[in-house]
Chains A and B, each alone.
Chain A
Amino acid sequence: MSRFIVERHLPGIDADALKAAGVRARTCCAEMETEGTAVRWIRSFFVPETEHTYCVFDAPNADVVEEANRRAQIPFLTIREALEMTPDAV
């Protein structure tokens, strides 16, 4: 499993739409897991100033992440592999 960052630009999106997108992302990941494709939505950060959202997913490859986002109908700009660092692991 690798970690991916999905970048989105969601102009004019409100909290309700973000929440609804979250429900859909969660369901679509669960659905793909039952099909035997490991994919997990970990967390998201929304930056109100730029209206960009950064969503962290775990998956074997970027195609799987793309498929989950397509099913959930959440538009995105890029999907890129990312390396995670935390204060207690450096």
Chain B
Amino acid sequence: MTLPQPRLRASNRDAGALLPEADRVVAATHAAIGRAKARGAAEVTPDDLLLALLGEVSRFGVALVGPWAIDLEALDDGAGPGCGAPGASRTEGRRNAEGAGKGPCYAARTVRLFERAAAIARRDGAPATGVLHLLVAFATEDGLMQDLRTRYGFTAMEWRTALARTAEEGLLPVAAPGPGLPRGPGGGPRVPELLSVDEAAEFLGVHSQTVRNYIRAGKLPAYRLAGERFLRVLRRDLLALLERVPVEDAQDTDLPDTGGG
């Protein structure tokens, strides 16, 4: 059984590129390690991770989560050294002591956040832990997250709800259980008006090369956003590709199920 690798929307880092969600998590945690290193700290604290995750979903230094526009610069200033120093003990890594390496390791509280995120991802039916799952795991966290709740005036529940809604609207990347089209309020795919070639292929249930062939053959009009390399197609043009089948030719093959293979 192979699960389709969810392809996701572009992050601020690679405009236009599509990254599997698992790689986005690695990129974000990688940035968290970088933050700890820059501080000269021995441990990656939850605050490092939170700032890195928000950075991953930000644009121009602003992370939009639900109704809140979180200014990362202001947040970063508040998160100086000493902020969120974990009181908890480290996990019992059995090692030969002698001054192992120089890279920071995850603090015990950070480890627990990863585990909480993995549990959320599983309940969500997601194939991998996503950036949003990690952000949701922060809901009741103290430290910088506590500051955030105070500063922007929301509760843990409102945070989780906002992230769920954000995921549904496809505004932030999330590891969706099935094909990666954003889900609408009814649970069905909410298809945007303008689609990339890959999204169009998914919409039609064909290979992306097939979509490119349609474009090349003149069957499907394609557009390019000013200055962008990537082709876009309009949803209505995709629907226009549909040909009505005469009744006698129609084999009842059922609607494709939403199991997501």
Contacts and interface: CB of A to CB of B under 8 A. Distances in A.
A20 B117 contact: yes
B129 A23 contact: yes
A69 interface: yes
B228 to A, nearest CB: 29
Contact of A70 (B33, B105, B115, B117): B105
A11 B187 CA distance: 39
Given A20-B114, A30-B30, A67 B122 contact: no
B33 A31 contact: yes
A66 B91 CA distance: 15
B91 A75 contact: yes
Contacts of B121: 19
Nearest to A77: B94
Interface stretch (B95-103, B163-171, B246-254): B95-103
B92 A75 contact: yes
B111 interface: yes
- Interface footprint category on A: 20 to 34
Contacts of A71: 33, 101, 103-106
A73 B93 contact: yes
Interface in A1-42: 15-17, 19-21, 23-24, 26-28, 30-32, 34-35
A76 to B, nearest CB: 6
Contacts of A34: 30
Q: Most chain-A Cβ atoms within 10 A of its Cβ — which of B33, B104, B114?
A: B114
B90 interface: yes
Interface string B109-140: 00100110111011000000100000000000
Interface residues of B, number: 29
Nearest to A32: B103
Given A19-B129, A27-B33, A70 B114 contact: no
Nearest to B96: A66
A72 interface: yes
B108 interface: yes
A19 B100 CA distance: 25
Q: Which 10 A-B pairs have the closest CB atoms?
A: A20-B114, A67-B101, A16-B118, A27-B29, A16-B119, A20-B118, A19-B118, A20-B115, A71-B105, A73-B106
14 contacts: A24-B111, A26-B22, A27-B29, A31-B30, A69-B93, A71-B33, A72-B105, A73-B90, A73-B91, A73-B93, A74-B93, A75-B93, A75-B94, A77-B94
Given A20-B118, A27-B26, 12 more contacts: A16-B115, A20-B129, A23-B29, A23-B114, A23-B129, A28-B103, A31-B103, A69-B93, A70-B93, A73-B90, A73-B93, A75-B91
